[in-house]
Amino acid sequence: MNALLHCKPHNVFAFFEEICAIPHGSGNVTKLADWCVAFAKQRKLRYLRDDADNVILFKDAAVGYEQAKPIILQGHLDMVCATAPNTDIDLSCCGITPLIDGEWIRADGTTLGGDNGIAVAMLLAILDDDTLPHPPLEVVLTSDEEVGLLGAHALDTFPLRGRRMINLDSEEEGVFTVSCAGGVRADCTLPITREDVTGIPCKISVLGLTGGHSGVEIHKGRANAHVLISRLLYAIRQKAPLHLLSLHGGEVDNAIAIQSTAEFLVAPADLDAVNALVTEYCRLFQAEYHTTDPALRVTFESGSPTTKSAVSAVDGDRLIAVLRSAPNGVQAMSPDIPNLVQTSLNFGILRLEESRFSATFSLRSSLTSQKDMLKDTLRALFEQSNGTVTFSGDYPGWAYRSDSPLRELVLGSYRDLFGTTPTVSAIHAGLECGIFASKLEDLDCISFGPDMQDVHTPQERLHIASCERIYQLVLEILKRCKA
């Protein structure tokens, strides 16, 4: 603790460091929700907590703001848990170790959880400071945003009186988001049978990829480990029979996969050819992705002849064909907004278990019809091979609002504070604003946040000075909300 002692604002980073110490990956936010409730009790703030571990904290208006309309301030409690290769840290039970790296904060071997822990820290710091001018505050901290906006879906918004909302779940200072894509998670499975096979055990791993957020960075051309390993397995299968033993890669559906591993058996006579093919494809991949993924590498290991329970030849060929055919990446760009991805999907997780193969995708589109198109694509691919596809966490997009008094107030505050022109943007990533807008009639909302880089990866970084400016901006907005 106290690694961030000298970071400003002191109160914000003190709360952030406390948050870092509490495990709070998606599906594991109960302890952090407990901590937020304890925070409210200590300060005699009214609060609500539901069965989904969403927490709402209320604070009355400051003196002089009693007649002002309430404002909703919103962030999410959960984070994406990812660790660097060869890092032995279990984020389901261990906290994060934040470190100062020049102008940035990063974590020691893991994701930092700046998405969205810094928002939670800012909002608690506001609630903790009785000297601030502000209207009535309704601070909404949702659970499990990173795995399909599940907390926002479950939240009963009836207690909320505010119809203006600031969401602090954006990652580029000076860029104010006013619209977002909708999305859905797809879980796809194929049944498999196994049989005893004798051969040389081989293991290939695609490692060292850059990764990133599948909404924010899907258009940057970064390699997906599952796509690369599927290309390699398909190429090997064209040269020699192989019998799959295991496949493993990815941790969450909405992060670009940085690592993928396959184990299989081959005949002794084919070992040299397989080794040569792995070397050849490693060179190909490095040439293709030398700019976006400079640390990309492919490793190969082999052992002594053995007999193991492997996927049957028929099911293995079917699995590799489906894997090789699985769509990934940008599917359509917006014809209306320059450089905006309109439709995409991300191949996030793959697993080969004893009797089934599973693949999980994150689908996104600003058009419901194209999101449905992707759902049909996956159904057609997996169901024709006797597989199944289920969808969960379907969330709506957030339509641009032409008349937004809150947007004008926020942009005016930014210009006055920093003397620069802000950027108004739509985003391909999903934001909880879409769900809140579908539940709260006539909601006027906007999303912004401090500079972060490489979120959802162990290289995640949070800019210290940017946090101070964003916190100052939120305080200025609240000060101006007298109406």
Sign for the CA dihedral angle at 281, 283, 289, 295 comes to positive
**Burial class of residue 45 (count of CB atoms within 10 Å of its CB; 0-12, 13-18, 19+):** middle
- Phi and psi dihedrals of 366, rounded to 5? -80, -10
**Distance in angstroms (rounded) separating the CA atoms of residues 371 and 242:** 35
* 36, 68, 140, 198, 408 from 137: Cα distances, Å: 16, 10, 10, 66, 20
Tokens 């997780």, located at residue: 349
User: Side chain identity at 296, as an amino acid letter?
Assistant: L
Could you tell me which residues are beta bridge partners of residue 59? 137
Residues classed as catalytic = 78, 145
Q: How far apart are the first and last CA of the chain?
A: 41
